[in-house]
């Protein structure tokens, strides 16, 4: 497979997005996130998604020229109206005020509505951790998980992320996981490639486990941990949709395909100054917690794999499927 540098990946994504009608201001943060996603080995959310983004700009599912509107609703509450545009520029627009408010007050929140797919949530919380803040992130998605005992999806895969600063401009801990057993984009990727999915990823329309990705997409994603995954999805739905005034997953249009208008989903970020919450003890306890995990033979911390792949990508570039490059070239 061809090997591209992160700069080449970012430029390729940027050129495709702007060719589709996205403004440079909106395309740049999305292109940068695409390169970072590829670097971390999450190909399903990387360049493979660029044709979908471009299709959605052209059909009006997302406004590529939207200008996010930022307002301070309270000293510790930032609100952003994404104006049915991409989530990435809306998040980028709100983060400076969020960071300032968290440093001033010790804690602050950012509520985003009228938004779109924010890609890999952990990329955004990591930026807050690199600014020295402990971050929690929530984002809702179109319904794809049925509640316990039901067959009709009500909530989305609804990721949640925690990023903890290491005190040196990096992250000591990064957790980024969805409420489903696997991200829906992985099932979509298998469907595109005509490959079966492992049992336990999805359920068919009758609520039965399936290895057919097409049946899984028509049915329901399997929640992680059964009813516990459904509970997690409801927590995220409350924070990212209900608390922000965004559209609930059950009413949001799909993140794939041209059907429906803008999904109008939401994101919610909580930023905490660890010095304000725990003082010097906070740093000591985080180091102790991380150290306890690393001391266990064979144990890994969440985020270790991504960090290793990111470091390797910076040195050697990233392999990208030729089929993906061909689809982008066709744009």
DSSP character string of 281-325: HHHHHHHHHHHHHHHSTT---TTHHHHHHHHHHHHH-EE--HHHH
What is the DSSP secondary structure assignment for residue 222, as one 8-state letter? P
- Which CATH fold topology does 1-59+299-331 show? Hypothetical Oxidoreductase Yiak; Chain: A, domain 1 (1.10.1530)
Mean pLDDT by 10 residues, the chain (331 residues): 95 97 98 97 91 96 98 98 98 98 98 97 98 98 92 94 96 95 86 91 90 92 93 98 98 92 98 96 95 93 92 95 92 85
CB 266 within 8 A of CB 245: yes
CA 289 to chain centroid: 25
Closest CA to 138 of 262, 12, 243: 243
Closest CA to 203 of 152, 141, 142: 152
- Which residues are bridge partners to 203 per DSSP? 209, 220
User: pLDDT at position 17, please?
Assistant: 98
User: pLDDT at position 151, please?
Assistant: 86
User: pLDDT at position 9, please?
Assistant: 97
User: pLDDT at position 182, please?
Assistant: 87
Residues designated as active site:
44-45, 186
pTM beyond 0.85:
yes
- Which CATH fold topology does 68-180+223-295 show? Ribosomal Protein S8; Chain: A, domain 1 (3.30.1370)
Collapsing DSSP states into helix, strand and coil, what is residue 201? coil
User: pLDDT at position 306, please?
Assistant: 92
What is the DSSP secondary structure assignment for residue 254, as one 8-state letter? P
What is the spatial distance between Cα 83 and Cα 67, in angstroms, rounded to a whole number? 7
User: pLDDT at position 125, please?
Assistant: 98
What is the spatial distance between Cα 91 and Cα 28, in angstroms, rounded to a whole number? 13
In the chain, CATH 1.10.1530.10 covers 1-59+299-331
Q: Give residue-wise pLDDT tens across range 188-202.
A: 889 988 999 999 999
**For residue 7, with 0-12 CB atoms within 10 Å meaning exposed, 13-18 middle and 19 or more buried, which class applies?**
exposed
CB 115 within 8 A of CB 246: yes
Tokens of 292: 């306890």
User: pLDDT at position 183, please?
Assistant: 81
Tokens of 291: 């150290």
CB 328 within 8 A of CB 51: yes
What is the spatial distance between Cα 15 and Cα 53, in angstroms, rounded to a whole number? 12
In the chain, CATH 3.30.1370.60 covers 68-180+223-295
CB 114 within 8 A of CB 84: yes
What is the spatial distance between Cα 85 and Cα 104, in angstroms, rounded to a whole number? 29
User: pLDDT at position 149, please?
Assistant: 86
């Amino acid at each position: 497979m061809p090997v591209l540098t992160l700069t080449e990946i970012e430029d390729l994504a940027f050129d495709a997005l702007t060719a589709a009608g996205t403004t440079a201001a909106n395309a740049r943060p999305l292109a940068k996130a695409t390169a970072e996603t590829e670097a971390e080995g999450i190909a399903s959310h990387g360049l493979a998604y660029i044709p979908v983004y471009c299709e959605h700009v052209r059909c009006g599912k997302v406004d590529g020229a939207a200008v996010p509107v930022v307002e301070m609703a309270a000293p510790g509450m930032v609100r952003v109206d994404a104006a049915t545009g991409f989530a990435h520029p809306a998040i980028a627009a709100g983060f400076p005020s969020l960071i300032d408010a968290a440093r001033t007050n010790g804690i602050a929140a950012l509520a985003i509505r009228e938004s779109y797919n924010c890609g890999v949530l952990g990329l955004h919380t990591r930026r807050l951790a690199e600014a020295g803040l402990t971050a929690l992130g929530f984002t809702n998605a179109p319904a794809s998980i049925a509640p316990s005992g039901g067959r009709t999806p009500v909530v989305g895969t609804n990721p949640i992320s925690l990023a903890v600063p290491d005190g040196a401009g990096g992250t000591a801990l990064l957790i980024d996981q969805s409420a489903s057993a696997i991200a829906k984009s992985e099932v979509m990727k298998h469907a595109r490639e005509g490959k079966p999915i492992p049992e336990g990823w999805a359920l068919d329309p009758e609520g039965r486990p399936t290895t057919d990705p097409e049946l899984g997409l028509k049915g329901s994603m399997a929640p992680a941990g059964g009813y516990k995954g459904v509970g997690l999805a409801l927590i995220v739905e409350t924070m990212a949709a209900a608390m922000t005034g965004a559209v609930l997953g059950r009413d949001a249009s799909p993140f794939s395909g041209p059907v429906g208008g803008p999904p109008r989903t939401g994101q919610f970020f909580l930023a905490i100054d660890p010095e304000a919450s725990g003082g010097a003890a906070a740093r000591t306890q985080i180091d102790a917690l991380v150290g306890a995990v690393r001391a266990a033979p064979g144990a890994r911390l969440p985020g270790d794999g991504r960090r290793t792949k990111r470091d390797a990508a910076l040195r050697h570039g990233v392999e990208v499927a030729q089929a993906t490059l061909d689809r982008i070239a066709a744009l």
